[in-house]
Each structure stands twice: as C-alpha cells, then as structure tokens.
Amino acid sequence: MLYGRTARTMNYSYLLAFFCIINPMVTTSMPNTWSTDFLNQQDFPASTLYMVATPIGNLGDITLRALHVLSAVDGIACEDTRHSAPLLNHFGIHKKRLALHAHNEASASETLIGSLQQGESWAYISDAGTPGVSDPGARLAAAVGLAGFRVVPIPGASAVSSAISVGGTTLLPSDGQFQFLGFWPHKLRDQEEWLRQIGHCNKATVFFESPHQIANTLLKLATCLDDSRMVMVGRELTKKFEQVVHLRPSQLSGWLSRAESLKGEFIVVVSASEQNTNTPANHAEILRWVAALKPFLGSKELANVISTITGISKKEAYQLALEGK
C-alpha cells in the first residue's frame, strides 16, 4: 500500500535502473548528476485513486511517475484489461485488475470505492492517453470524490496536447485558444451542426475521427470552410507511421486522392474563423428564406438558391443553410 511518509522516502534507484535498461539511449545522454529525487516531491497516500496517463502509441512516452504509481498501487482499473495487458506486462507490472469501461463505469466505480474504503490505493488507465479525454474516467473520478477519497492526476501523453503542440498555423488566428469536441458524430444532423459551429467559431477546433470516415469528413470540411482557414490532419501520432499535414480546405481533396494510407487513428485541428461572426443586417431575412425552403431542398441545393437570391458566396450561404436546419 501507499502511505504518505513511507512513499516519500522510498528509494527510486530500482526505477531508474529499470528505465535505463528499457531505454538504452538514457545511459548515454543523461547527465551524471541525474537522479530520481523529483519523484519525492509529492505524497502518495493510501485510499487514493490515481488517474494515470499512458502512451498513445509509443511505449517510450510512459513517465517515471506513471511507472512508480502503477508499480506501487494495490490494483489497476483498466478501460480494457486485455488491451492494457501488453503495456503492463512490458514494464513488469503485475497487479490485480478491474475492468472499468463506458458500459459498467457506475457499478465498477462502486467496486473500486469499496477497495479504497479498505485502505487500498488504485490507479485507473484508459486504453491510451489521458483518462477522461474522450475516454471513461469522469464518472469514476466524480464517484470517488463524492465518496470522500482523493483523486490524483498523473499527467502524461494526450493526443489532444500532442496535436496542439504541432498545430502551428492552425493555432495562430486564435492565439492558441481552442475547443475540443471529441469524436466526430455519426448522425448527419449532428455533423451539420458541428460544421456550422466550426464555420463560425473564433477558436481553433480539435476533434478525433476514425479511418473509415476521415475522407468523408475532410471533404465536408472542404465544402463548408473558406479557403482562408487551415486544417491540420494528424495520423498515428507518436507511432512509426506518424503523419502531420497542414492544408487549405481546397487542398484536402487532392491530399486524400494522393494519400498512401488512411489507416490508423486521426486527429484534426481546424483554425479559427478570422471573419467577424456578428450576424449581418439581412441575416434574419436569409434565415426566413432557409426556413421556407428547407422542407424541399438539401443543404447544398438550398445554399445555391440562397447564394443566387442574396449575392453572398456559396460557402457563406451553405453555413447559413446549416444554421437554419
């Protein structure tokens, strides 16, 4: 078990030695004075839940704190115990495990709380990255907190922060501000709402997409975004076949046609709208046209009609058509 003072005075030399064995480059690149004293900067009390970030693809991204906590807790709750087994086995971590995923988060949380009440400490890991970021974990953290126990973050890898760090031109218009929307929706109506929101948003937008839908989603962005915007597409971040591209909306179709592979996990960053998002004087009138015509026309056809009637661009008309849906 983890107890405050005991944990603070633990000898971490074994952890450093193990880290050097699995990472040979460390032995040649780290200073002679490098030590693990920094691991003593925080208590590790008993009856605590540790939300531990794990690598999103490259095992070398595991942190020393994560290894220490996972090695020292009494048990590890996993989004998928089978998925987490290779990671834990690779680092020689053998603890009792509890499956805790989106379909059983409430009941499994109660089981874990029962263990905390017995004085045990537990860690929670999702399949990859930081728990709670488009992964289970929020309900667990809330339940544990309401039960009167501490919830401690052990930060590390995150696809969102990784993408933002290389976002470059997609972050400039909003001075680094962004919104994270999670996974692109499946329902057409929800997709149209997202497209409308992204089209007018004054912050960069970050979202995940599956390899099966990435082409359709990027083509929809190309249709509704003005070419002053930038789109960053990240594929397989931190993995062997990692790819990051920055494109104008008009370039997305060509990139898709030339792409050698659309397999793997995708994250997309769309730059903020630099246009004034205040509604124009005739905005209400245009929306009345949209309301009258939408029962008879799809979004594209409706946009063509509105553009012809009002003289605004087809892209702007398409945004208004989505807004009026």
pLDDT digits (tens, 9 = 90+) for 127-184: 999 999 988 999 999 999 999 999 999 999 999 999 999 999 999 999 999 999 999 9
Q: Which two tokens stand for residue 51?
A: 């939300």
Q: Which residues contact 303 (CB under 8 A, 6 or more apart)?
A: 314, 317, 318, 320, 321
What's the CA gap between 267 and 210, in Å, rounded? 9
With beta carbons less than 8 A apart as the criterion, state whether 205 and 221 touch: no
Q: What is the pTM of this model?
A: 0.76
- Report whether CATH 3.40.50.300 matches the domain 163-270: no
Measured from the Cβ of residue 196, the count of other Cβ atoms closer than 10 Å reads 20
Query: Which pLDDT score is estimated for 292?
Result: 80
Measured from the Cβ of residue 57, the count of other Cβ atoms closer than 10 Å reads 20
Q: Each residue of 95-125: pLDDT tens digit?
A: 999 999 999 999 999 999 999 999 999 999 9
- Report whether CATH 1.10.10.10 matches the domain 4-157: no
Average pLDDT over residues 59-82: 95
Q: Indicate the average pLDDT of the chain.
A: 86
Query: Which pLDDT score is estimated for 312?
Result: 74
Higher-pLDDT residue of 274, 311? 274
Largest CA distance in the chain: 75
With beta carbons less than 8 A apart as the criterion, state whether 270 and 234 touch: no
Query: Which pLDDT score is estimated for 74?
Result: 96
Q: Which residues contact 5 (CB under 8 A, 6 or more apart)?
A: 43
* 4: confidence class by pLDDT, cuts 50, 70, 90: very low
Kindly give the pairing relationship between strand 75-78 and strand 96-99: parallel
Query: Which pLDDT score is estimated for 179?
Result: 96
Instruction: Decide if pLDDT at 301 tops 60.
Output: yes
